[in-house]
Chains A and B, each alone.
Chain A
Amino acid sequence: MKKLLFAGAALLGLLGSSALAAEDRVVRVFNWSDYIDASILEDFTKETGIKVVYDVFDSNEILETKLLAGGTGYDVVVPTGTFLGRQVQAGVFQKLDKSKLPNLENMWPQIMSRIERFDPGNEHAINYMWGTTGIGYNVEKIKERMPDAPVDSWDMLFKPEVVSKFADCGIHVLDTADEMFPAALTYLGLDPDSDKPEDFAKATEVLLKIRPYIQKFHSSEYINGLANGDICMAIGWSGDVLQARDRAAEADNGVTIAYSIPKEGAMMWFDNMAIPADAPHVEEAHAFLNYIMKPEVVAKATDYVFYANGNKASQAFVSKEVLEDPAIYPSEATIENLFSVTTKSPKAMRVRTREWTKVKTGQ
Chain B
Amino acid sequence: MTAGDSASGAPFGSTAREAATDGPDIERTVRPRVRRGLGGWLLIAVPYLWLLTFFLAPFFIVFKISLSEVAVAIPPYLPTFDLAAGWDAFVSGITALSIDNYLWLTEDSLYWKSYVSSIVIAATSTLIALIVGYPMAYGMARAPKAWRPTLLMLVILPFWTSFLIRVYAWIGILKTEGLLNQFLLWLGLIDTPLTILNTNVAVYIGIVYSYLPFLVLPLYATLEKLDESLLEAASDLGSPPWRSFWTITVPLSLPGVIAGCFLVFIPAVGEFVIPDLLGGSDTLMIGKTLWTEFFNNRDWPVSSAVAVLLLLILVVPIVLFQNQQQRATEKGR
Q: Which residues of A contact B (CB under 8 A)?
A: 59, 61-62, 64-65, 67-70, 86, 89-92, 177, 216-217, 346, 349-350, 353-354, 356-358, 360-363
- Which residues of A are found within 8 Å of B294, using beta-carbon distances? 65
Instruction: Give Cα distance in the complex from A65 to B298, angstroms.
Output: 7
- Which residues of A are found within 8 Å of B75, using beta-carbon distances? 68-70
Instruction: Give Cα distance in the complex from A90 to B80, angstroms.
Output: 14
Residues A65 and B74 in contact, CB atoms below 8 Å apart: no
Residues A357 and B73 in contact, CB atoms below 8 Å apart: no
Residues A354 and B108 in contact, CB atoms below 8 Å apart: yes
B109 sits at the interface (CB 8 A): yes
Instruction: Give Cα distance in the complex from A69 to B73, angstroms.
Output: 9
- Which residues of B are found within 8 Å of A91, using beta-carbon distances? 73-74
Residues B74 and A61 in contact, CB atoms below 8 Å apart: no
The answer to whether A346 and B281 touch (CB under 8 A), given A65-B294, A65-B298, is no
Residues A68 and B74 in contact, CB atoms below 8 Å apart: yes
Name the residue on B nearest A65 (C-beta).
B295
CB distance from A307 to the nearest CB of B (A): 24
Instruction: Give Cα distance in the complex from A354 to B104, angstroms.
Output: 12
Residues A362 and B298 in contact, CB atoms below 8 Å apart: no
Residues B76 and A68 in contact, CB atoms below 8 Å apart: yes
Residues A357 and B110 in contact, CB atoms below 8 Å apart: yes
Main secondary structure on B side of the interface with A: loop
B84 sits at the interface (CB 8 A): no
The answer to whether A92 and B298 touch (CB under 8 A), given A216-B198, A361-B282, is no
Using a CB-CB cutoff of 8 Å, which residues 90-131 of chain B contact chain A?
A: 108-110, 113
- Which residues of A are found within 8 Å of B295, using beta-carbon distances? 59, 61-62, 65
Instruction: Give Cα distance in the complex from A356 to B299, angstroms.
Output: 15
B169 sits at the interface (CB 8 A): no
CB distance from A243 to the nearest CB of B (A): 21
B281 in complex: contacting residue of A64, A68, A70, A217, CB < 8 Å: A217
Residues B74 and A362 in contact, CB atoms below 8 Å apart: no
Residues B74 and A353 in contact, CB atoms below 8 Å apart: no
Residues B73 and A61 in contact, CB atoms below 8 Å apart: no
B71 sits at the interface (CB 8 A): yes
Per-residue CB proximity of B57-83 to A under 8 Å, as 1/0? 000000000000011111110000000
B162 sits at the interface (CB 8 A): no
CB distance from B236 to the nearest CB of A (A): 60
CB distance from A142 to the nearest CB of B (A): 21
B296 in complex: contacting residue of A61, A86, A363, CB < 8 Å: A61
Name the residue on B nearest A177 (C-beta).
B296
CB distance from B304 to the nearest CB of A (A): 13
Residues B113 and A70 in contact, CB atoms below 8 Å apart: no
- Which residues of A are found within 8 Å of B299, using beta-carbon distances? 346, 350, 353
Residues A363 and B72 in contact, CB atoms below 8 Å apart: no
Instruction: Give Cα distance in the complex from A49 to B294, angstroms.
Output: 39
Most buried by B among A67, A68, A360, A362: A68
Instruction: Give Cα distance in the complex from A363 to B289, angstroms.
Output: 12
- Which residues of A are found within 8 Å of B302, using beta-carbon distances? 350
Interface magnitude class on chain B: 20 to 34
The answer to whether A346 and B70 touch (CB under 8 A), given A216-B281, A217-B281, is yes
- Which residues of B are found within 8 Å of A360, using beta-carbon distances? 281-282
CB distance from A57 to the nearest CB of B (A): 11
CB distance from B72 to the nearest CB of A (A): 5
B8 sits at the interface (CB 8 A): no
Instruction: Give Cα distance in the complex from A70 to B73, angstroms.
Output: 10
Name the residue on B nearest A176 (C-beta).
B296
- Which residues of B are found within 8 Å of A357, using beta-carbon distances? 110, 289, 292
Instruction: Give Cα distance in the complex from A59 to B276, angstroms.
Output: 15
B19 sits at the interface (CB 8 A): no
Instruction: Give Cα distance in the complex from A89 to B70, angstroms.
Output: 14
CB distance from A172 to the nearest CB of B (A): 11
B326 sits at the interface (CB 8 A): no
Residues A61 and B282 in contact, CB atoms below 8 Å apart: no
- Which residues of A are found within 8 Å of B289, using beta-carbon distances? 357
- Which residues of A are found within 8 Å of B298, using beta-carbon distances? 61, 64-65, 68, 349
Name the residue on B nearest A211 (C-beta).
B281
B284 sits at the interface (CB 8 A): yes
B297 sits at the interface (CB 8 A): yes
Nearest first, the 5 closest Cβ-Cβ pairs linking A and B are A353-B297, A360-B281, A61-B295, A346-B70, A68-B76
CB distance from B276 to the nearest CB of A (A): 12
CB distance from A115 to the nearest CB of B (A): 19
Name the residue on A nearest B69 (C-beta).
A346
Instruction: Give Cα distance in the complex from A83 to B71, angstroms.
Output: 14
Name the residue on B nearest A346 (C-beta).
B70
Query: Could you list 16 further interchain pairs (A-B, Cβ under 8 angstroms) beyond the known A350-B297, A354-B108?
Result: A64-B298, A65-B294, A68-B298, A86-B72, A89-B72, A90-B73, A217-B281, A346-B299, A349-B298, A350-B70, A353-B292, A356-B296, A357-B110, A361-B110, A361-B281, A362-B282
CB distance from A274 to the nearest CB of B (A): 14
- Which residues of B are found within 8 Å of A68, using beta-carbon distances? 73-76, 298
- Which residues of B are found within 8 Å of A62, using beta-carbon distances? 295
A353 in complex: contacting residue of B71, B109, B296, CB < 8 Å: B296
A-B contact pairs, 9 of them (CB 8 A): A59-B295, A65-B298, A68-B75, A346-B70, A349-B298, A350-B70, A353-B299, A361-B281, A363-B282
Name the residue on A nearest B282 (C-beta).
A361
Instruction: Give Cα distance in the complex from A14 to B71, angstroms.
Output: 48
Residues A92 and B74 in contact, CB atoms below 8 Å apart: yes
CB distance from B250 to the nearest CB of A (A): 40
Residues B109 and A363 in contact, CB atoms below 8 Å apart: yes
Instruction: Give Cα distance in the complex from A108 to B152, angstroms.
Output: 66
- Which residues of A are found within 8 Å of B73, using beta-carbon distances? 68, 90-91
- Which residues of A are found within 8 Å of B110, using beta-carbon distances? 354, 357-358, 361, 363
